[in-house]
Amino acid sequence: METQSENACFGGVQGVYTHRSDSCDCDMTFGLFLPEEAKDGPVPVLWYLSGLTCTHENAMTKAGAQGWAAEQGIALVFPDTSPRGDDVADDDAYDLGKGAGFYVNATQDPWTPHYRMWDYLAEELPSLITGNFAVDADRQAITGHSMGGHGALTLAMGLPGRFRSVSAFAPISNPVASDWGRKQLTAYLGADESAWAAHDSSLLMREKGFDGPVLVDTGTSDQFIDLLRPEALAEAAAARRQQAMLRMQPGYDHSYFFISTFMEDHVAFHAEALYAG
């Protein structure tokens, strides 16, 4: 692992690190904010998964999360959204290929060799971070935006017991029924739709739910709201009687202005769960 940068930030350190990924078979870069409390021992951690076209850098520089995390004594992880490198398959469209890994393990060519973002985030990167930094593996929470909200919800429900809480900003909530989903799931996983179900948070909510608190914010003026399908997740949560706050925020769109407005709420929401018990 190589240190790309480390900057003092709200009493802690915002670092950027690169390492060779066995899961993705390429070099991967991630951001990690450690609050001041990490000098004295392991701290809880909140994972933030970004959306289409993003890298580790978008949320790290635009979400305004570090100040709120510093107040709560929580670490933040900002992973990349896909594998990178000259030999990694890509597509001319912004919503497939690099920057659009969709947090799945691809089973179809040409994506199979590198696009294993589920394994990367479920196993490899957590092990790397808890093994090298003062982060508490037993106190983890997860959030994300858009494609990353999809990833946060599916990882939380797909890895029972891993995360104490889950939240999302404008998640792609029902990709099996959306053009933001059907295209990518077909490309990465093939035409058999039974393989898609593990990566649809509305279907997972009906089948499994989440053993903990859930918070989802979506803007009523989100320009992609028909692709996000927040109503599908709300219906699934109601049917399961899941503990959840699913909020429609009047006038907000899909941008980081929306995310930064409600980031304090989300960090505080996760802090309550991470420090409980």
Supply the residues annotated as catalytic.
Answer: 146, 222, 254
Integer Cα distance of 184 and 175 in angstroms: 9
Residues 6+ apart with CB under 8 A from 152: 47, 49, 142, 143, 144, 166, 167, 168, 171
Long-range contacts of 103-106 (CB under 8 A, 24+ apart): 103/49, 103/147, 103/148, 103/150, 103/151, 103/154, 103/155, 103/199, 104/185, 104/188, 104/189, 104/199, 106/187, 106/188, 106/189
Integer Cα distance of 214 and 205 in angstroms: 11
58-97 burial, b if ≥16 CB within 10 A, otherwise e? bbbeebebbebbbebbbbbbbbbbbbbeeebbbbeeebbb
Dihedral pair phi/psi, residue 131, rounded to 5°: -80, -15
Instruction: Yes or no: say if 76 and 69 are a contact pair by the CB < 8 Å rule.
Output: yes
Dihedral pair phi/psi, residue 116, rounded to 5°: -130, 55
Q: Closest Cα partner for 147 from 169, 172, 124, 174?
A: 172
Integer Cα distance of 142 and 189 in angstroms: 24
- Run of H or E residues at 6: strand 2-9
